[in-house]
Amino acid sequence: MIISNNEDEPQSIERGAIQLKILYRLEELYPDSDTDKSLEELSKKSRIDISVLTFYSTQPISKEKLKEPSTKKQLDKICTALNCNIDTLEKREVDLPLFKFDIDFYIRKKYKTEAEFIQQTGTSAEFIDLLRTQYIDIYLITGSRTNNVYSRSNYRAVWCKYCNFGC
Task: Please state, in angstroms and rounded to a whole number, the distance separating the CA atoms of residues 128 and 53.
Answer: 13
Where does residue 67 rank: exposed (0-12), middle (13-18), buried (19+ CB within 10 A)? exposed
How many angstroms separate the CA atoms of 100 and 2, rounded? 9
Q: Residue 91 is which amino acid?
A: K
Q: What are the phi and psi torsion angles at 70 (to 5°)?
A: -65, -40
Q: What is the pLDDT along the chain (167 residues), one digit of tens a residue?
A: 444 554 555 456 677 899 899 988 998 888 888 888 888 999 999 999 998 998 998 889 999 999 999 999 999 999 999 999 988 888 788 888 888 888 899 889 888 899 998 888 888 899 999 989 998 887 766 554 444 444 434 566 666 666 665 55
**CA nearest neighbour of 123 among 156, 165, 158, 157:** 165
**Strands 17-20 and 61-62, sheet pairing:** antiparallel
Secondary structure of 134-158 in the HEC alphabet? CCECHHHHHCCCCCCCCCCCCHHHH
Q: For residue 52, which of 128, 140, 116 has the smallest C-alpha distance?
A: 128
Provide the pLDDT for residue 49. 92
